[in-house]
Amino acid sequence: MADDREAPPIYFGDHPHGSYWSAEVGGGSDDEPESCEVSGTVITFMPEDTVTVPLWSDEGLLPEEPEWLNRALGLSRGLVEDIAAWGRDWNADRMGETLIAAQREERRIRLDAEARLLVARLQREVPERFTVVYRP
């Protein structure tokens, strides 16, 4: 026997003017920032302890999620992955790996050279309105 009843509306109550219940999930995920807007005209590549993707705008640290960085800045997944690998390497050095002074200096020079290459790649991928700067 077929059910001729119509499905109930997805909203009950005084939608959109007051309290209501919805069968739709609203508001997005807590894991995903609402806006993909990046303020200012400068993106700063600046390492910070425990930060994996050290990209900053005028308002602070940008989200580290590759999808967000792609939507907001047009960054490729490959570049974001390379920046994250660099950030993990930089943090490993900061988190107490025991190296003799010569090894530490050699590593610092290598990380600095890699950061400069990443900054050049960033400048090529971000929209023209942004300038990318490096603050070691």
Whole-number pLDDT of residue 132:
98
Whole-number pLDDT of residue 116:
98
Instruction: Give dist(CA 11, CA 4) in Å, integer.
Output: 20
DSSP string, 35-58: -----SSEEEE---TT-SS-EEET
Does residue 9 lie within any of the structural domains? no
Query: Tell me: the pLDDT tens digits for 56-78?
Result: 999 999 999 999 999 999 999 99
Residue 1 to residues 4, 5, 26, 122, Cα–Cα distance (Å): 9, 12, 35, 62
Does residue 119 lie within any of the structural domains? yes
Residue range(s) defining the domain that contains residue 130: 38-134
Instruction: Give dist(CA 71, CA 66) in Å, integer.
Output: 9
Does residue 43 lie within any of the structural domains? yes
Instruction: Give dist(CA 128, CA 96) in Å, integer.
Output: 39
Report DSSP state, residue 18: S
Does residue 17 lie within any of the structural domains? no
Residues in the chain predicted with pLDDT less than 50, given as ranges, are: 25-28, 33
Instruction: Give dist(CA 15, CA 5) in Å, integer.
Output: 22
In the chain, the number of structural domains is 1
Does residue 13 lie within any of the structural domains? no
How buried is 36 (Cβ within 10 angstroms: 0-12 exposed, 13-18 middle, 19+ buried)?
A: middle
